Amino acid sequence: MNTVTPRIFIAATEQDTGKTTTSLGLYAALRQQFLRIGYIKPVGQRFTEVDGRRVDEDSLLMKTVYETRIPIEDMSPITVEPDFTRRYINEANHEALVRRIQHSFDRSCWEKDFAIIEGSGHAGVGAVFDLSNATVARILASKVLLVVPGGIGLPIDEGALNKALFDREGVEVVGVVMNKVLPEKMEQTADFARRGFARLGLELLGVMPVQKNLAEPSLRQIADTIRGTFYCNARFARNHASDVVMGAVSAVNIRRKFSHGTLLIVPGDREDIVLAAISEASEFSERRLSGLILSDDLKPHRTLLELLQQTNLPVVFSSMDSYSIAQRIFSLTIKTQPDDTRKIESIQDLVARHIDIPRLLEKIGVSD
């Protein structure tokens, strides 16, 4: 296996902490110094279909955004499908899986100047099939950058637990990046976290503030989640919902709840509220909506449907009731999509400004 290419394993203390955000931004930042960068997510838990093959969503995101010249099957060698764990316990094909990861790493990093390895969940995820993140980092001879959520007590406690697992595998954690810190608490949190992690022998290499837009789902993501269909203006499916309002009051009062980027959910027969939405659909409106979901499998009068077609407001039909739709939206795990251009630019800027890249490279033994 390739042991020459410089590499870093992006791990986290829990799921959805910011591994992909860090990997995505780090890739762009490192391109300032390294011409050719490899990427691999050895074990993926969320997958999608590409040419009849299940591949990890984050691997597909990286391949699409950065147009990597790496076969997608090597960027995503193992996807944990619903019956994967049961099959492994029955067959215990550990050596074959290790060989697959090593082979894919070699192909992903062939003639590359640097390699980014993205983990999946906390250090112990994957232990049930003998491929925890700590084990995979050891197999790939990589040092680790640990991503933790904002705060002081819990992130440091979880950092200690995760470090213990990496230590047991003989893997060095070179530093910590804290993500999703409230902007007004950045300085204070960074000070206490830096001292707290230092007591564990860990160096704080970055503190990234909460970026509200990164947690906003697109209309496309929402429509997929609620099994909805676009009635019109699907070309604006990338609109992001910065707020969600349900049409449970009068049309006069509902307009007071609108703000720029609001997603409105309303039963299709509440024609007074649908008309209010149409009135705020102008691109010049300060309270312009990001989208409209017509719930309960109900549709307004044909005249209103025709008026909706004349706006730039994306409209989605759903058979679910309004409260169930709202519940689905609030429980969504927001993943950056390849066409989320503004989000991707925000992520790249976030990492470039808030992670000490030169110090990270120094810690893994790469000189400028």
Q: What is the DSSP letter of 95?
A: H
Paired tokens of 248: 């449970």
Phi and psi dihedrals of 147, rounded to 5? -100, 130
Measured from the Cβ of residue 89, the count of other Cβ atoms closer than 10 Å reads: 10
Residues 6+ apart with CB under 8 A from 119: 9, 10, 11, 12, 19, 41, 43, 125, 133, 136, 137
Calculate the alpha carbon distances from 224 to 142, 179, 237, 283, 335 in Å.
37, 28, 11, 26, 13
Q: Are 13 and 121 in contact (CB under 8 A)?
A: no
Residue 77's alpha-carbon distances to 41, 62, 105, 128, 347, in angstroms, are: 8, 15, 9, 18, 26
Which residue ranges form the domains of the chain, and what is each CATH number?
7-214+336-363 (3.40.50.300), 217-330 (3.40.1390.20)
The pLDDT of residue 287: 67
* Tens of pLDDT, residue by residue, the chain (368 residues): 899 999 999 999 988 899 999 999 999 999 999 999 999 999 998 888 777 788 899 999 999 999 999 999 999 999 998 888 888 888 878 899 999 999 999 999 999 999 999 999 899 999 999 999 999 999 999 999 999 999 999 999 999 999 999 999 999 999 999 999 999 999 999 999 999 999 999 999 999 999 988 889 999 999 999 999 999 999 999 999 999 999 888 887 888 888 888 999 999 999 999 998 988 876 656 667 999 999 999 999 999 999 999 999 999 999 999 999 999 999 888 888 888 888 999 999 999 999 999 999 999 998 75
pLDDT at position 84: 87
Taking CA 203 as the corner, what is the angle to CA 183 and CA 333, rounded to the nearest 5 degrees? 50
Q: Which strand (E) or helix (H) includes residue 141?
A: none
Cβ-contact 106, 100 below 8 angstroms: no
